[in-house]
Amino acid sequence: MSNAKTVESVMVQGDIYHANFWKVNELSNKYQFDLCNLSEAACEALSNLGIEIKTKDTKPEKGAFITLKSANFPFTVVDTDGVGVDPETRVGNGTRAKMRISAYNWKFKNKTGISPQTNRVIITSLIEYNPEGGDLDEEAV
């Protein structure tokens, strides 16, 4: 008899917002990102794992979303060929990605919960963040 534990997971896709894949978020002190604009099927599958789906009236562009966090390790991010994305890449809001999500139980002080986790983020359509707000190759008038 095997003692192997079966971990339930689901492959989902969505839009990346607030990507802190390789740099710790200053507010949470963790690596984190939001996976947004989840389909109804993705929301149902994630809910079946016990993961809470969020929405914010003040951020309708995010649709239904979850936040993935890692306290100790940066996320592994690859392109559709499995090639690692350069950590210098500035992943902008709306970047499309897919990933296998599982859930884990946690306990901290007197609180408990279930959170989503992923081992690898697959970027399917990259939008590079440009803080100046324009295409550097575009001619200005």
59-109 residue pLDDT tens: 999 999 999 999 999 999 999 999 999 999 999 999 999 999 999 998 989
**E strand or H helix that includes residue 47:** helix 40-48
Smallest CA-to-CA distance from 17 within 71, 56, 72 is with 56
pLDDT at 25 over 70: yes
pLDDT interval class at 141 (50, 70, 90): low
Enumerate residues 6+ apart whose C-beta is below 8 A from 139.
none
Tokens standing for residue 72: 């100790």
Rounded to two decimals, the pTM is: 0.86
The alpha helices in 8-89, defined as continuous H runs, are 40-48
